[in-house]
Amino acid sequence: MTYLTAVYGDDADDALFSALLRLAEASGFSYAASDARGRLYRRAGAADVFFSETRGPCALSCGADILILKRSARTMPRGRFGYIILSDECAPYIGKHADAGTVITCGINQKSSVSVSSNAEAGVLMFIQRRIVSLSGETLEPQELCVPTREGTHGYDAMAAVICCLILGGEYEKIKNIRI
């Protein structure tokens, strides 16, 4: 089965999309991807995952298995989404347009599904604060994960990329040393 993962936001920052592709490769997923500039990427055979980065809200009217809102998103595309991953900053914008099975918030708020425990030069220490069920039905239990980051990587981008990878069935052991 091929899963559709959409990254939506109004800006040209592609750090989150790039992080997703690095983690997908480390996880061993075969994938196809299209970024907001129309560039195509492909890794190995038939795709397990299709990643799409878009800036236009109507481009996602068909929905997606996972929707990740960039920090800059101030609108919510219409459609049916299995999961919506968003920053605490974007939470007010999802409104009644969200038709999602699971909404996962990432931020520094203690009510977030995933929060930053610590943010250092070497990486982000993130804490999954509640159970999250992956697309394959496996349960991600509350736990703390260390995510190595590149200079300038925003904590939200790291958290969203890791959570997306885990929801898709990636294993933390395979991605824990990938600098995103």
Task: Report the mean per-residue pLDDT for the chain.
Answer: 84
**Predicted TM-score (pTM) above 0.85:** yes
What is the structure's pLDDT at 60? 56
Give residue limits of the domains in the chain. Answer: 3-106+156-174
Q: With CA atoms as reference, report the closest residue to 8 among 85, 89, 99.
A: 85
Q: What's the pLDDT at 134?
A: 94
pLDDT at 10: 65
| 44 token code pair | 């190995």
Cα dihedral across residues 161, 73, 51, 43: positive or negative:
negative
C-beta separation of 79 from 99 below 8 A: yes
Beta-carbon contacts of 73 under 8 Å, excluding residues fewer than 6 positions away, are: 8, 9, 10, 86, 90, 93
Low-confidence ranges of the chain (pLDDT < 70): 1, 10-13, 56-62, 93-100
The pLDDT value given to residue 98: 56
Task: For helices 15-27 and 155-167, give the axis angle rounded to 10 degrees.
Answer: 40
Q: What pLDDT is recorded for position 145?
A: 95
The CATH number of domain 3-106+156-174 is 3.40.50.800: no
Determine the pLDDT at residue 12: 61
Copy the structure tokens of residue 116: 């930053």
| Full DSSP string of 70-108 | -TT--S---EEEEEEEEEGGGHHHHGGGEEEEEEEEEES
